[in-house]
Amino acid sequence: MKSYEINLPYYKKGDDLGYALQETDSIVNAFKLHAKMLGAAQEQLLAIADVVAKYPEDEIEVQADTHFISLDGPKAMIKELLDLGLISEYDYA
């Protein structure tokens, strides 16, 4: 069984800020790094939305959980999202 997942560069707000605090030299820089991570997630989601908008919503399925977002739909849509690097394919055979 295949799954197509959206991997955002954002995990948990506290964990991500903690990572940023460890990776930078100041609290201010940690907040800036955290904001950069959120900006990358925003860009990815907007790009996904642009592709998904080309297809009928009743043909698209999205599953969302705490740490997991999967997407399925028309093969052409999935191929475009994969080709753009916006989603990843996992095979759970």
pLDDT at residue 1, as a whole number: 65
For residue 12, what are the CA distances in angstroms to 16, 34, 80, 84?
Answer: 6, 11, 28, 25
pLDDT of residue 9: 80
pTM of the model: 0.83
Edge-first strand listing for the sheet containing 68-72: 61-65, 68-72, 2-5, 88-91
Rounded Cα gap, residues 36 and 57, in angstroms: 30
pLDDT (tens, 9 = 90+) of the chain, 93 residues, equals 678 998 888 777 788 889 999 999 999 999 999 999 899 999 999 999 999 999 999 999 999 887 789 999 999 999 999 999 999 998 877
